[in-house]
Amino acid sequence: MRSRGAVFLLVALAFVMPADAQEVDGVQLFPIVARTAGVGASQWVTDLTVHNLQDQPITIGLQFFPADTPNTFDPTFPDRMDLDPRETIVVEDVLADFFGFQSDTKGVLVVSADEEMIVGNPQDARILAVTRTYNRANPDGTYGQTVPSIELITVNEIPLVVTGARNDSRFRSNLGMMNRSMTPITVHYRILVGDGTTLVEGSRTVPELSVRQFSFQQLGVGQVDGPLTVELRLDPDDISPDPCADFATAMLGYVSKVDNGTGDAEFLYAAPLENPPCDW
Protein backbone atom coordinates (compact mmCIF):
# COMPACT_ATOMS: atom_id res chain seq x y z
CA MET A 1 0.00 0.00 0.00
CA ARG A 2 1.42 3.39 -0.99
CA SER A 3 1.71 6.05 1.68
CA ARG A 4 -0.32 9.25 1.67
CA GLY A 5 2.96 11.14 1.45
CA ALA A 6 3.92 9.36 -1.76
CA VAL A 7 0.54 10.13 -3.28
CA PHE A 8 0.88 13.78 -2.28
CA LEU A 9 4.33 14.05 -3.81
CA LEU A 10 3.35 12.61 -7.15
CA VAL A 11 0.20 14.72 -7.36
CA ALA A 12 2.10 17.84 -6.32
CA LEU A 13 4.63 17.26 -9.07
CA ALA A 14 1.95 17.13 -11.77
CA PHE A 15 0.92 20.79 -11.89
CA VAL A 16 1.69 22.75 -15.04
CA MET A 17 3.51 25.94 -14.05
CA PRO A 18 4.71 28.93 -16.10
CA ALA A 19 8.29 28.44 -17.29
CA ASP A 20 9.49 31.95 -16.51
CA ALA A 21 8.90 32.07 -12.75
CA GLN A 22 10.03 30.48 -9.52
CA GLU A 23 7.45 28.40 -7.72
CA VAL A 24 6.22 28.86 -4.15
CA ASP A 25 5.02 25.54 -2.75
CA GLY A 26 5.52 22.94 -0.05
CA VAL A 27 7.34 20.61 -2.44
CA GLN A 28 10.07 21.62 -4.87
CA LEU A 29 11.31 19.42 -7.73
CA PHE A 30 14.56 19.85 -9.65
CA PRO A 31 14.83 17.46 -12.62
CA ILE A 32 18.62 17.64 -12.78
CA VAL A 33 21.35 18.29 -10.22
CA ALA A 34 24.91 17.18 -10.77
CA ARG A 35 28.42 16.58 -9.53
CA THR A 36 30.14 15.39 -12.64
CA ALA A 37 33.01 15.97 -15.03
CA GLY A 38 32.08 17.47 -18.38
CA VAL A 39 33.84 18.17 -21.66
CA GLY A 40 37.57 18.82 -21.27
CA ALA A 41 38.55 19.96 -17.78
CA SER A 42 35.07 21.11 -16.77
CA GLN A 43 33.69 20.13 -13.37
CA TRP A 44 29.95 20.63 -12.92
CA VAL A 45 28.38 20.98 -9.47
CA THR A 46 24.98 22.14 -8.18
CA ASP A 47 24.24 24.67 -5.43
CA LEU A 48 20.83 24.66 -3.75
CA THR A 49 19.22 27.79 -2.27
CA VAL A 50 16.11 27.47 -0.05
CA HIS A 51 14.08 30.24 1.60
CA ASN A 52 11.67 29.67 4.50
CA LEU A 53 8.56 31.76 3.82
CA GLN A 54 7.13 31.19 7.31
CA ASP A 55 7.41 33.39 10.41
CA GLN A 56 8.32 30.26 12.36
CA PRO A 57 11.04 27.63 12.06
CA ILE A 58 10.54 24.68 9.74
CA THR A 59 12.32 21.47 8.82
CA ILE A 60 12.93 20.58 5.20
CA GLY A 61 13.60 17.13 3.83
CA LEU A 62 15.80 16.45 0.82
CA GLN A 63 15.64 13.34 -1.35
CA PHE A 64 17.92 12.51 -4.26
CA PHE A 65 16.98 10.10 -7.05
CA PRO A 66 20.08 9.08 -9.08
CA ALA A 67 19.88 9.20 -12.86
CA ASP A 68 19.76 6.13 -15.09
CA THR A 69 18.54 3.80 -12.33
CA PRO A 70 15.18 2.71 -10.85
CA ASN A 71 14.35 4.58 -7.64
CA THR A 72 11.83 4.39 -4.83
CA PHE A 73 10.31 7.23 -2.85
CA ASP A 74 10.79 7.41 0.95
CA PRO A 75 7.93 9.52 2.39
CA THR A 76 9.78 9.91 5.71
CA PHE A 77 12.48 12.12 4.13
CA PRO A 78 15.25 10.97 6.51
CA ASP A 79 17.76 13.55 5.20
CA ARG A 80 16.73 16.85 6.80
CA MET A 81 17.84 20.32 7.86
CA ASP A 82 16.25 23.13 9.90
CA LEU A 83 15.53 26.69 8.78
CA ASP A 84 14.82 29.62 11.09
CA PRO A 85 11.93 32.00 10.37
CA ARG A 86 12.46 33.76 7.01
CA GLU A 87 15.93 32.22 6.76
CA THR A 88 17.62 31.63 3.42
CA ILE A 89 20.33 28.97 3.15
CA VAL A 90 22.73 28.02 0.38
CA VAL A 91 24.01 24.44 0.22
CA GLU A 92 27.01 24.58 -2.07
CA ASP A 93 27.79 21.46 -4.09
CA VAL A 94 24.71 19.83 -2.58
CA LEU A 95 25.43 16.30 -3.81
CA ALA A 96 28.83 16.28 -2.09
CA ASP A 97 28.25 18.49 0.97
CA PHE A 98 24.78 17.20 1.91
CA PHE A 99 24.53 13.71 0.43
CA GLY A 100 28.23 12.79 0.47
CA PHE A 101 28.71 11.89 -3.20
CA GLN A 102 32.31 12.27 -4.33
CA SER A 103 32.27 10.53 -7.71
CA ASP A 104 30.42 11.54 -10.86
CA THR A 105 26.68 11.50 -10.30
CA LYS A 106 23.54 13.34 -11.34
CA GLY A 107 19.82 12.95 -10.89
CA VAL A 108 16.56 14.42 -9.55
CA LEU A 109 16.32 16.41 -6.31
CA VAL A 110 13.12 16.86 -4.29
CA VAL A 111 12.90 19.31 -1.36
CA SER A 112 9.85 19.16 0.90
CA ALA A 113 8.45 21.17 3.80
CA ASP A 114 4.97 19.66 3.58
CA GLU A 115 3.53 18.75 6.98
CA GLU A 116 2.19 15.45 5.64
CA MET A 117 5.77 14.26 5.18
CA ILE A 118 7.67 16.47 7.65
CA VAL A 119 5.65 16.05 10.83
CA GLY A 120 5.81 19.10 13.08
CA ASN A 121 5.93 21.69 10.33
CA PRO A 122 3.13 24.29 10.28
CA GLN A 123 0.12 23.56 8.12
CA ASP A 124 0.58 24.64 4.50
CA ALA A 125 4.28 25.35 5.06
CA ARG A 126 5.75 26.77 1.87
CA ILE A 127 9.28 27.27 0.64
CA LEU A 128 10.97 28.90 -2.33
CA ALA A 129 14.00 27.13 -3.77
CA VAL A 130 16.28 27.29 -6.77
CA THR A 131 19.40 25.48 -7.98
CA ARG A 132 22.39 26.58 -10.02
CA THR A 133 24.47 24.00 -11.87
CA TYR A 134 27.78 25.42 -13.03
CA ASN A 135 31.33 24.69 -14.17
CA ARG A 136 33.80 25.57 -11.42
CA ALA A 137 36.97 24.49 -13.24
CA ASN A 138 38.02 28.05 -14.17
CA PRO A 139 39.56 29.91 -11.18
CA ASP A 140 38.58 33.25 -12.75
CA GLY A 141 34.86 32.57 -12.48
CA THR A 142 32.02 30.14 -12.97
CA TYR A 143 29.61 29.59 -15.82
CA GLY A 144 26.37 27.70 -15.50
CA GLN A 145 22.61 27.58 -15.54
CA THR A 146 19.86 28.32 -13.03
CA VAL A 147 17.21 25.61 -12.80
CA PRO A 148 14.01 26.75 -11.06
CA SER A 149 11.62 24.29 -9.48
CA ILE A 150 8.93 24.35 -12.13
CA GLU A 151 7.16 21.13 -13.04
CA LEU A 152 6.16 21.26 -16.68
CA ILE A 153 5.06 17.66 -16.52
CA THR A 154 2.74 16.07 -19.05
CA VAL A 155 0.53 13.04 -18.63
CA ASN A 156 -0.33 10.33 -21.13
CA GLU A 157 -0.89 11.48 -24.72
CA ILE A 158 0.00 15.15 -24.25
CA PRO A 159 3.34 15.80 -26.02
CA LEU A 160 6.10 18.13 -24.88
CA VAL A 161 7.99 20.58 -27.08
CA VAL A 162 11.17 22.59 -26.42
CA THR A 163 12.86 24.98 -28.84
CA GLY A 164 16.08 26.99 -28.82
CA ALA A 165 18.48 24.05 -28.88
CA ARG A 166 21.64 24.27 -30.98
CA ASN A 167 24.34 21.80 -31.91
CA ASP A 168 26.98 23.49 -34.02
CA SER A 169 30.51 24.89 -33.74
CA ARG A 170 29.43 27.40 -31.07
CA PHE A 171 26.96 25.41 -28.95
CA ARG A 172 26.27 21.87 -27.85
CA SER A 173 22.97 20.64 -26.41
CA ASN A 174 21.76 17.86 -24.11
CA LEU A 175 18.25 16.44 -23.87
CA GLY A 176 16.82 15.39 -20.51
CA MET A 177 13.84 13.10 -19.90
CA MET A 178 12.46 12.67 -16.38
CA ASN A 179 10.02 9.94 -15.36
CA ARG A 180 7.66 10.92 -12.53
CA SER A 181 5.99 7.52 -12.62
CA MET A 182 6.33 4.43 -10.46
CA THR A 183 7.10 2.22 -13.48
CA PRO A 184 9.60 2.55 -16.37
CA ILE A 185 8.48 4.53 -19.41
CA THR A 186 9.58 4.78 -23.03
CA VAL A 187 9.89 8.31 -24.40
CA HIS A 188 9.87 8.96 -28.13
CA TYR A 189 11.82 11.98 -29.36
CA ARG A 190 11.94 13.83 -32.65
CA ILE A 191 14.44 16.62 -33.37
CA LEU A 192 13.45 19.15 -36.05
CA VAL A 193 15.63 21.59 -38.01
CA GLY A 194 14.59 25.16 -38.66
CA ASP A 195 12.38 24.42 -41.69
CA GLY A 196 10.34 21.89 -39.68
CA THR A 197 11.72 18.72 -41.23
CA THR A 198 12.81 15.83 -39.03
CA LEU A 199 16.55 15.50 -38.46
CA VAL A 200 16.53 12.41 -36.22
CA GLU A 201 14.00 10.47 -34.21
CA GLY A 202 14.09 7.55 -31.82
CA SER A 203 13.17 6.46 -28.30
CA ARG A 204 14.74 5.95 -24.90
CA THR A 205 13.56 4.08 -21.79
CA VAL A 206 13.64 5.97 -18.48
CA PRO A 207 13.53 4.06 -15.15
CA GLU A 208 10.95 4.87 -12.52
CA LEU A 209 11.43 8.11 -10.54
CA SER A 210 14.58 8.88 -12.47
CA VAL A 211 16.07 11.02 -15.21
CA ARG A 212 18.26 10.34 -18.22
CA GLN A 213 20.27 12.98 -20.06
CA PHE A 214 21.73 12.50 -23.53
CA SER A 215 24.02 14.68 -25.60
CA PHE A 216 22.59 15.43 -29.01
CA GLN A 217 25.52 13.46 -30.44
CA GLN A 218 24.28 10.41 -28.52
CA LEU A 219 20.88 10.92 -30.16
CA GLY A 220 22.41 10.95 -33.63
CA VAL A 221 22.74 14.71 -34.19
CA GLY A 222 25.95 16.02 -35.71
CA GLN A 223 26.84 19.67 -36.24
CA VAL A 224 23.78 21.44 -37.67
CA ASP A 225 23.44 25.11 -38.57
CA GLY A 226 20.49 26.93 -37.06
CA PRO A 227 18.04 26.35 -34.21
CA LEU A 228 16.65 22.95 -33.31
CA THR A 229 13.30 21.97 -31.77
CA VAL A 230 12.59 18.76 -29.86
CA GLU A 231 9.26 16.95 -29.55
CA LEU A 232 8.70 14.32 -26.84
CA ARG A 233 5.83 11.89 -26.33
CA LEU A 234 5.12 8.80 -24.27
CA ASP A 235 4.95 5.38 -25.85
CA PRO A 236 1.32 4.25 -26.38
CA ASP A 237 1.95 1.16 -24.25
CA ASP A 238 2.73 3.42 -21.27
CA ILE A 239 -0.55 5.36 -21.39
CA SER A 240 -2.49 5.15 -18.10
CA PRO A 241 -6.22 4.29 -18.34
CA ASP A 242 -7.00 7.33 -16.18
CA PRO A 243 -4.65 10.26 -16.89
CA CYS A 244 -5.76 11.99 -13.68
CA ALA A 245 -5.09 9.09 -11.32
CA ASP A 246 -2.51 9.62 -8.56
CA PHE A 247 -0.01 7.37 -10.30
CA ALA A 248 -0.78 8.14 -13.93
CA THR A 249 2.23 7.97 -16.20
CA ALA A 250 3.89 11.36 -16.51
CA MET A 251 7.16 12.85 -17.73
CA LEU A 252 9.17 16.06 -17.86
CA GLY A 253 11.61 17.21 -20.52
CA TYR A 254 14.33 19.82 -20.87
CA VAL A 255 17.27 20.93 -22.99
CA SER A 256 20.58 22.12 -21.54
CA LYS A 257 22.44 24.22 -24.11
CA VAL A 258 26.14 24.93 -23.44
CA ASP A 259 28.34 27.59 -25.05
CA ASN A 260 31.44 25.82 -26.35
CA GLY A 261 33.59 28.92 -25.91
CA THR A 262 32.78 29.91 -22.34
CA GLY A 263 31.11 26.85 -20.82
CA ASP A 264 28.09 29.02 -20.00
CA ALA A 265 24.81 27.08 -20.10
CA GLU A 266 21.11 27.74 -20.63
CA PHE A 267 18.30 25.58 -19.24
CA LEU A 268 15.09 25.20 -21.27
CA TYR A 269 12.02 23.37 -19.98
CA ALA A 270 9.86 21.50 -22.50
CA ALA A 271 6.29 22.80 -22.58
CA PRO A 272 3.17 20.61 -22.81
CA LEU A 273 1.01 21.36 -25.85
CA GLU A 274 -2.06 21.46 -23.61
CA ASN A 275 -2.96 21.33 -19.95
CA PRO A 276 -3.70 17.91 -18.41
CA PRO A 277 -7.46 17.35 -18.12
CA CYS A 278 -7.20 17.05 -14.35
CA ASP A 279 -8.32 19.00 -11.30
CA TRP A 280 -5.27 18.32 -9.14
User: Same structural domain for residues 171 and 110?
Assistant: no
212 lies in the same domain as 122: no
Largest CA distance in the chain: 55
- DSSP single-letter state for residue 121: S
* Chain segment 165-221, per-residue pLDDT in tens: 999 999 999 999 999 888 999 999 999 999 999 999 999 999 999 999 999 999 999
pLDDT category of residue 17 using cuts at 50, 70 and 90: very low
Same domain, 103 and 163: no
Range list of β-strands (E), 14-149: 24-25, 27-37, 43-52, 58-66, 80-83, 88-91, 105-112, 127-135, 143-148
Q: Is residue 30 part of a domain?
A: yes
Considering the domain architecture, whether residues 43 and 112 belong to the same structural domain is answered as: yes
Closest CA to 122 of 58, 61, 79: 58
Tell me, yes or no, whether 133 and 174 share the same domain.
Answer: no
pLDDT value at position 280?
53
- pLDDT the model gives residue 37: 83
Q: What is the pTM of this model?
A: 0.88
Q: How many CA atoms lie within 13 A of 87 on its CB side?
A: 13
In this structure, of 231-235, 251-255, 261-265, 273-277, the range with the lowest mean pLDDT score is: 273-277
Strands 271-272 and 198-206 come out as: unpaired
* Domain residue limits at 97: 4-148
**pLDDT tier at 152 (50, 70, 90 boundaries)?**
low
Strand extents, DSSP E, 118-240: 127-135, 143-148, 153-155, 160-167, 171-179, 185-192, 198-206, 210-215, 224-234
Q: What pLDDT score does 151 carry?
A: 56
CA dihedral (241, 63, 258, 272) in degrees, to 10, reads 20
H or E element, residue 11: helix 4-12
Which 8-state DSSP code applies to residue 234? E
**Which of residues 119, 148, 177 is at a domain's end?**
148
